[in-house]
């Protein structure tokens, strides 16, 4: 039975690398895959998934109002799909997450989503929230904070290196993001009250 998968992490954990490797494994065996990434990442109107290791592949772009079930069903009717991969899945709408669930349930095509769990304010992205609620399989991809602990949060810096605590949820410039553990995220964002007890 096909499933809806959600692999999530903080920034720079290797999500795109894992996605591209999994798609390659299917293709190496003569199977057809379909890759999507958010339209935020279009390069001259073209979708491309690129890992920090320099590996990349072309991808379909999805936008907020796209019906992903219809697009995938149409592609599958032309030539059978073995798996669908979604990069930057945090930008999916809640309706699109359900559309992907229907791809697994009604078209019997596995759907593997990769994305961030929370934004720079520590809040769930809508797409991630719905995936955490209804995906069949959840997997955390781990990365580390500068202290060596597991990084679960993302901080956004301005160009002077100051941590931002307000602003739009979506800002594509990856260079201003840093993955941190919860303790150091609190310290960076000033979320700790002055009279909070210190660790013993």
79: domain CATH number? 3.40.50.300
Domain count for the chain, please give it.
1
pLDDT digits 0-9 by tens, 39-78:
986 777 888 998 888 889 999 999 999 999 999 999 999 9
> Residues 128, 89: contact at Cβ < 8 Å?
yes
Terminal-residue alpha carbon distance, the chain = 50
Q: Is residue 88 flagged as an active site residue?
A: yes
In this structure, is residue 159 part of a structural domain? no
This prediction's pTM: 0.83
Residue 194 has a pLDDT of 45
Range of the domain at 14: 4-142
The active-site residue out of 70, 88, 166, 173 is 88
In a domain, 177, yes or no: no
């Amino acid at each position: 039975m096909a499933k809806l998968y959600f692999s999530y992490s903080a920034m720079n954990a290797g999500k795109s690398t894992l996605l591209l490797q999994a798609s390659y494994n299917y293709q190496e065996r003569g199977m057809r895959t379909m890759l999507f990434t958010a339209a935020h990442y279009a390069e001259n109107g073209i979708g491309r998934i690129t890992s920090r290791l320099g590996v990349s592949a072309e991808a379909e772009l999805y936008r907020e109002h796209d019906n992903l079930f219809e697009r995938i069903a149409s592609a599958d009717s032309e030539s059978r799909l073995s798996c669908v991969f979604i990069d930057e899945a945090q930008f999916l709408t809640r309706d699109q997450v359900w559309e992907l669930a229907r791809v697994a349930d009604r078209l019997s095509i596995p759907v593997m989503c990769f994305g961030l769990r929370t934004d720079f304010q520590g809040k769930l992205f809508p797409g991630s929230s719905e995936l955490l609620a209804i995906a069949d399989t959840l997997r955390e991809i781990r990365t580390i904070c500068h202290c060596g602990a597991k990084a679960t949060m993302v901080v956004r810096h301005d160009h002077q290196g100051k941590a931002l605590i307000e602003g739009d949820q979506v800002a594509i410039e990856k260079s201003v993001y840093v993955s941190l553990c919860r303790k150091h995220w609190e310290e960076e964002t000033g979320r700790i009250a002055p009279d909070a007890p210190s660790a013993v």
